[in-house]
């Protein structure tokens, strides 16, 4: 199987160039890849007006750069992101990404950039040439969704919570500035946010042939568009960022809603959970305990500060700071969480 690789450079900074992989829905021979290349590059470039395309070639699957995937149950694979804030060193590869293989393939979060999505696509193609039929977005955050366009080009349907499109649209302008600043412009080259083809407001079983995924939209917690995905055959539960381990949790939804979700273990109890960040394959109790402790402290200390008549800025300077141990990127994320918690709880 062969894949079209084109060199693309930023129009605004022509010295910044990277190879981009342009996938197709079906497998290609080398001859078919070469025959269609010019037309496909022109189509792709029309959607990427910030880039200039240059040389291209067709490359065999075995020669593609690819992400590492670990099989954690039959047909369930995970790429473990770096459990740390986005930086030029990690290029935005911080979220845990899932792949479920049935008669077709589903991706659970395509990663934080075009390049990461391509690396995940290449990793899948090294294992199977089955079609990638679905991409499921666990929630709106860029480190989880920005690789989606690769899979849209490969023919996948992109599925998300009903509230995801409005959340992405509200924040897209800010992210367009902030994410390249954090990850580096080269790491984000060619990255475009794409919206879901279909959204859910109620649970749904997704049939992949020999695998079934139960998609469960969740009330506002980490964000207002969280979705969990249970692989019914193995009991593996992908929680997205409803569970963080190692990387400091970021509150972008509802603190009380998040604690409420954590207080009601899923039915049926998963065999293991795959958190959005941190070690994969943890039991529910062990995986959620540090997060519960942190969010409980955040809520308790915020309520105490409000009762004591503190202003938001005073509260934000100390709330949660005794919880720093064991969390990456703590000070900056906790300060934002303290403000979000104050705004939410001052009206209780
Ligand atoms: Zn998130």
Q: What is the 3-state secondary structure (H, E, C) of 51-106?
A: EEEEEEEEEEHHHCCCCCCEEEECCEEEECCCCCCCCCCCCCCCCCEEEEECCCEE
Q: How confident is the model at residue 291 (pLDDT cuts 50, 70, 90)?
A: very high
pLDDT digits (tens, 9 = 90+) for 292-312: 999 999 999 999 999 999 999
Ligand 1 center to 225 CA (angstroms): 10
Cα separation of the two ends of the chain = 59
Measured over the CA atoms of residue 211, residue 128, residue 43 and residue 119, the dihedral's sign is: positive
Q: How confident is the model at residue 71 (pLDDT cuts 50, 70, 90)?
A: very high
Query: pLDDT over 90 for what percent of the chain?
Result: 99
Ligand 1 center to 221 CA (angstroms): 10
Place of tokens 């190692």: 246
Residue 286's pLDDT is 94
Residue 44's pLDDT is 98
Q: What value does the mean pLDDT take over residues 41-58?
A: 97
Query: To 5 degrees, how large is the angle CA 51–CA 94–CA 85?
Result: 95
Ligand 1 center to 101 CA (angstroms): 24
pLDDT digits (tens, 9 = 90+) for 121-142: 999 999 999 999 999 999 999 9
Ligand 1 center to 244 CA (angstroms): 9
CATH class of the structural domain 70-240+274-280: alpha beta
pLDDT digits (tens, 9 = 90+) for 307-338: 999 999 999 999 999 999 999 999 999 999 99
Q: Domain ranges in the chain?
A: 2-63, 70-240+274-280
Residue 27's pLDDT is 93
Residue 130's pLDDT is 97
Q: Rounded CA gap, 47 and 173, in Å?
A: 18
296 CA to centre of own chain: 25
Residue 234's pLDDT is 98
Measured over the CA atoms of residue 66, residue 133, residue 275 and residue 187, the dihedral's sign is: positive
Ligand 1 center to 276 CA (angstroms): 7
- Bridge-based pairing of strands 236-244 and 227-231 is antiparallel
pLDDT digits (tens, 9 = 90+) for 154-177: 999 999 999 999 999 999 999 999
Computed over every residue of the chain, the mean pLDDT equals: 97
pLDDT digits (tens, 9 = 90+) for 221-257: 999 999 999 999 999 999 999 999 999 999 999 999 9
């Amino acid at each position: 199987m062969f894949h079209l690789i084109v060199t693309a450079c930023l129009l605004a900074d022509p010295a910044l160039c990277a190879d981009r992989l342009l996938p197709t829905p079906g497998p290609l021979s080398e001859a078919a890849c070469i025959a269609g290349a010019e037309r496909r590059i022109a189509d792709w470039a029309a959607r990427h007006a910030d880039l200039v395309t240059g040389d291209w070639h067709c490359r065999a699957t075995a020669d593609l750069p690819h992400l590492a995937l670990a099989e954690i149950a039959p047909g369930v694979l995970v790429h473990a992101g770096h459990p740390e804030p986005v930086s030029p060193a990690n290029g935005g590869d911080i979220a845990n990404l899932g792949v479920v293989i049935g008669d077709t393939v589903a991706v659970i979060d395509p990663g934080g950039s075009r390049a990461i999505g391509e690396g995940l696509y290449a990793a899948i193609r090294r294992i199977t040439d089955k079609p990638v039929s679905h991409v499921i977005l666990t929630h709106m955050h860029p480190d989880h969704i920005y690789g989606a366009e690769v899979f849209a080009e490969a023919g996948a349907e992109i599925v998300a919570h009903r509230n995801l499109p409005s959340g992405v649209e509200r924040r897209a302008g800010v992210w367009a500035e902030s994410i390249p600043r954090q990850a580096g412009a080269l790491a984000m080259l060619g990255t475009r946010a794409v919206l879901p083809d279909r959204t859910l407001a109620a649970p749904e079983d997704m049939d992949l042939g020999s695998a079934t995924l139960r998609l469960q939209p969740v009330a506002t917690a980490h964000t207002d568009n969280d979705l969990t995905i249970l692989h019914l055959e193995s009991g593996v539960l992908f929680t997205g960022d409803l569970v963080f381990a190692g990387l400091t949790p970021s509150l972008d939804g509802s603190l009380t809603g998040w604690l409420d979700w954590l207080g009601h273990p899923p039915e049926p109890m998963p065999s293991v959970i795959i958190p959005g960040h941190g070690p994969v394959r943890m039991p529910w109790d062990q995986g959620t305990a540090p997060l519960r402790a942190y969010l409980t402290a955040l809520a308790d200390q915020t309520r105490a500060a409000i009762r004591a008549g503190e202003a938001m800025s005073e509260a934000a300077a100390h709330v949660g700071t005794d919880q720093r141990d064991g969390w990456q990127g703590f000070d900056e994320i906790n300060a934002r969480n303290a403000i979000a918690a104050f705004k939410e709880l001052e009206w209780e």
